[in-house]
Structure 1
Amino acid sequence: MKNLIPLTELDRRMNRFRQIMDTQNPEWETVVIFNKLNLLYFTGSMPDGMLIIERNKEASLWVRRSYERTREESEFPDIKPMGSYRDAASSFKQLPREVYLETEFVPLAMFKRFQKHFPFEAFKPIDFQVAMTRAVKSPLELSFMEQAGANHQRVLEERVPELLREGITEADFAGKLFQVMVEEGHQGVARFGMFDTEIAVAQLGFGESSLYPTNFDGPGGNRGLNAAVPSLGSRDRKLKKGDLVFVDMGMGVNGYHSDKTMTYMFGKPLSEEIQKTHRQCVDIQNQVAEMLKPGNVPENIYETIMDGLSPEFQENFMGYGNRQVKFLGHGIGLTVDELPVLAQKFTAPLEENMVFAVEPKKGIEGVGMVGIENTFVVTPEGGRCITGDNPGLILVE
């Protein structure tokens, strides 16, 4: 099977996780992981099952569906079939009294089913420790993200202008955009760690649609199809001359994402004042990128940028009206939204090969959301962009 994750890579990830656990939770004995993306990270496969990591033993992967597929696509050394949690529990001579779980993911019903057969007395979270394990990317992971970034650049900088024509609806544009994304190598789905979050293709909008309220925790907006599908794009809003076009989307290759936002001026340029505001957002992106060096602190980066902005510019910056978000960028990898975040309270220093999506944006009444977003790798020289350097507001005539 193509794209097998080598055992050496899986060992590196597991060893990093164990080191973080030993440092932050020196009393730990047993970790159980259920989330499919975390299973992919640690084992190279995404089965319905669980990974049991014991402090002084080799980890074991227990698979309900599909054991055959998992054996085919994973080099993880200890893969066992199970019909239920009972099967796994029966192999333990002594069941753990305390387990570490993904408390941000495990629903109560699953928790109770698991506890029925593993009657532990206490549990603690491992969400942060897993997130920080995943935060530093290996050369293999970076290669997938760089490929996604190159695909991303082609889609947004070269191919989207070919799709924009007067009278097309946002929904039809989204459909054509998805086809182009897949043609250019997109894996077909962009994943989010944020609970119960989905975006079908992109967060996109013509003109004022990009300011419309949404449940998504980001600076942009979109109308969507209706209340049941508040994403994709409106079937009624049609592109007209003079519109600002806003497209914010993730691209994936072999599970790993890049994130990029591009804006376009359809039919004629926007006013110089609007373009100046946009250019200031691009300048902010570049300032942040310069600070993406090992040892720098995300909170300090955020506060340095925000302290340098005028009160006037901060109005509708990073979100329109009362919907401003309190970050300038976020980690990215197997999900579009990973830790760390360029925000207050994130005080652990950056490490080389962390990856961030930096997205300074500003809403303009009656116009839409200007600004930019690109994906950067942390290096000693500052952030290295993997999604292209076009400043946005591309004129499409």
Structure 2
Amino acid sequence: MDSASDTSVCHGFVLADTEYEHEATGHVFSKEGMSEVDLSTELYSVMVEEGRHGLCRFGMFDIEMVMGNVCFGEISRYPSYFNGPGGMYGMSPAVPLIGRRDKKLKKGDLVFIDIGCGVEGYNTDKTTTYMFGSSLPQYAIDAHNKCVEIQNEAASMLKTGAIPSKIYNNIMNNLDSEFLQNFMGFGKRKVRFLGHGVGLLIDELPVTAEGFDEPLQEGMVFLSNLKKE
């Protein structure tokens, strides 16, 4: 994103003062005053129309998920039952999914979209964040650039025969204590992995974490989950 302007381009979308529009289709996804539920249902509808198979498929037990985390402002820090670095309040404590009906988007909010998408049985997992109608602060840009640096370093280690736990420890042991604050989760609610496999399930093995000592094999597909508050 361009930190010097209120209008930015990110992943094929244009962010203006009061709306977030897809460049190719012209579809406006986020508008001032819409709720988290509004944005979730808009995204879901467009994704299914474009070929998504309509659900998030996990291997872990006790996981219910329609799309993932879609939230505004500080809600992305909210405690969650899900083993991920982001948070979500959802419909209610009984149904922590989709979003809050009463959380309305306003200028200056962080929009946090961490969702899965699948086509014909194969899944992806991607996070997009942006500031609605305002510029990103410099510290956020610096944190993003550091995460990209870490991601590239980890990716360079993903070779046939490499050990996931060693990759995890090599990365984590070289990060300074200041950066580790609110890295991979907020406060004490942190996850202890940097990425995982993805394919027929969103949460496939292996995981870039301690305890995963089987060597990598050719053809494995990984995603990076790096997040920093």
TM range (shorter): 0.7 to 0.9
Alpha-carbon shift at residue 301 of structure 1 (Å): 0.8
C-alpha separation between the residues in 2 aligned to 1:315 and 1:348? 29
Alpha-carbon shift at residue 262 of structure 1 (Å): 1.0
State the aligned residue count: 208
Of 170, 175, 181, the residue aligned with 2:47 is 181
Of 153, 158, 180, the residue aligned with 2:12 is 158
Name the SS of the counterpart of 1:200 in structure 2.
Answer: coil
AA aligned to 2:60 is: M
Name the SS of the counterpart of 2:83 in structure 1.
Answer: coil
AA aligned to 2:202 is: V
AA aligned to 2:33 is: G
Q: Would you say 1:285 and 2:151 are equivalent positions?
A: yes
Alpha-carbon shift at residue 159 of structure 1 (Å): 5.6
C-alpha separation between the residues in 2 aligned to 1:290 and 1:321? 29
Aligned to 2:111: 245
Q: Would you say 1:308 and 2:174 are equivalent positions?
A: yes
Q: Would you say 1:211 and 2:65 are equivalent positions?
A: no
Of 156, 170, 187, the residue aligned with 2:36 is 170
Name the SS of the counterpart of 1:301 in structure 2.
Answer: helix
String of CA shifts for 1:316-364, please: whole Å, max 9, x gaps.
111111110110011112111111100011111111110112111012x
Name the SS of the counterpart of 2:88 in structure 1.
Answer: coil
Higher helix share: 1
Percent same amino acid among aligned pairs? 53
- Gaps of at least 5 residues in structure 2 are 1-9, 15-19, 22-28
String of CA shifts for 1:271-297, please: whole Å, max 9, x gaps.
111221122112211221121111111
Which one scores higher on RCO, CA 8 angstroms, separation ≥ 6?
2
Kept in 2: contact 1:329–1:356 (CA 8 A)? yes
AA aligned to 2:32 is: E
C-alpha separation between the residues in 2 aligned to 1:206 and 1:171? 11
Q: Would you say 1:317 and 2:183 are equivalent positions?
A: yes
Given the two structures, how large is their TM-score scaled by the length of structure 1? 0.51
C-alpha separation between the residues in 2 aligned to 1:235 and 1:298? 40
C-alpha separation between the residues in 2 aligned to 1:253 and 1:207? 30
Q: Would you say 1:230 and 2:96 are equivalent positions?
A: yes
Counterparts of 1:20-39 in structure 2 under 5 Å? none
Aligned to 1:260: 126
Kept in 1: contact 2:197–2:223 (CA 8 A)? yes
- Gaps of at least 5 residues in structure 1 are 1-155, 364-397
Alpha-carbon shift at residue 157 of structure 1 (Å): 2.5
Alpha-carbon shift at residue 184 of structure 1 (Å): 2.1
AA aligned to 1:332 is: V
Alpha-carbon shift at residue 268 of structure 1 (Å): 1.0
Larger radius of gyration: 1
Kept in 1: contact 2:39–2:70 (CA 8 A)? no
C-alpha separation between the residues in 2 aligned to 1:170 and 1:274? 22
String of CA shifts for 1:158-184, please: whole Å, max 9, x gaps.
369321111111011000010111122
AA aligned to 2:220 is: M
Q: CA RMSD in A?
A: 1.4
String of CA shifts for 1:24-83, please: whole Å, max 9, x gaps.
xxxxxxxxxxxxxxxxxxxxxxxxxxxxxxxxxxxxxxxxxxxxxxxxxxxxxxxxxxxx
String of CA shifts for 1:93-129, please: whole Å, max 9, x gaps.
xxxxxxxxxxxxxxxxxxxxxxxxxxxxxxxxxxxxx
C-alpha separation between the residues in 1 aligned to 2:134 and 2:157? 35
Kept in 2: contact 1:244–1:265 (CA 8 A)? yes
String of CA shifts for 1:106-158, please: whole Å, max 9, x gaps.
xxxxxxxxxxxxxxxxxxxxxxxxxxxxxxxxxxxxxxxxxxxxxxxxxx823
Given the two structures, how large is their TM-score scaled by the length of structure 2? 0.87
Kept in 1: contact 2:150–2:171 (CA 8 A)? yes
1:158–1:183 Cα change, 3 Å: farther
Alpha-carbon shift at residue 217 of structure 1 (Å): 0.3
Kept in 2: contact 1:331–1:341 (CA 8 A)? yes
C-alpha separation between the residues in 2 aligned to 1:265 and 1:310? 27
C-alpha separation between the residues in 2 aligned to 1:358 and 1:178? 23
C-alpha separation between the residues in 2 aligned to 1:191 and 1:228? 20
